[in-house]
Amino acid sequence: MKKDIEDKNDIVLLVNSFYNAVQENEILGFIFNDVAKINWDEHLPRMYAFWTSMFLNEHHFSGNPMEKHITLSRITSMTEIQFNEWLLLFTTTVDKLFKGEIANEAKFRAGNIARLMLLKIQSV
């Protein structure tokens, strides 16, 4: 029986599972590994902080996601194709692991942010 997203451990599980899937994904994996060449040991904790600040009222995230993704869109294709794939992977990962109100909110908010990011990218 699946449970809802409740604490930091749940966020860590969600984020780790999501980025494992991202790294293996044909459309998204190379953007992280080859284009942005991100350091996973730094990126994952930033993402734990981002999602815990969203759901668990723990405000440890300070960053500028919009700016980072706009910069990224100048060096690699960041269109509906990439954002739809990102969102599909995110929702599939949430559904595989959790069920409940916060899990639904996570998918809803990720969708809103993804749409907003794409709009911003298209307008610069």
Binding site for ligand HEM (CB under 6 A): 28, 31-32, 36, 38, 43, 46, 50, 63-65, 68-69, 72, 78, 82-83, 86, 110, 113-114, 117
Smallest gap from residue 34 Cβ to ligand HEM (A): 10
Tokens of 50: 């981002």
End-to-end CA distance of the chain: 45
Burial classification of residue 108, based on how many CB atoms lie within 10 Å of its CB (0-12 exposed, 13-18 middle, 19 or more buried): exposed
Cα 61–81–29 angle (5° rounding)?
Answer: 60
Smallest gap from residue 65 Cβ to ligand HEM (A): 4
Tokens of 51: 């999602």
Amino acid letter at 121? I
Name which of 99 and 111 has its Cβ closer to ligand HEM: 111
Name which of 78 and 103 has its Cβ closer to ligand HEM: 78
Name which of 57 and 64 has its Cβ closer to ligand HEM: 64
Tokens of 36: 């942005």
Smallest gap from residue 101 Cβ to ligand HEM (A): 18
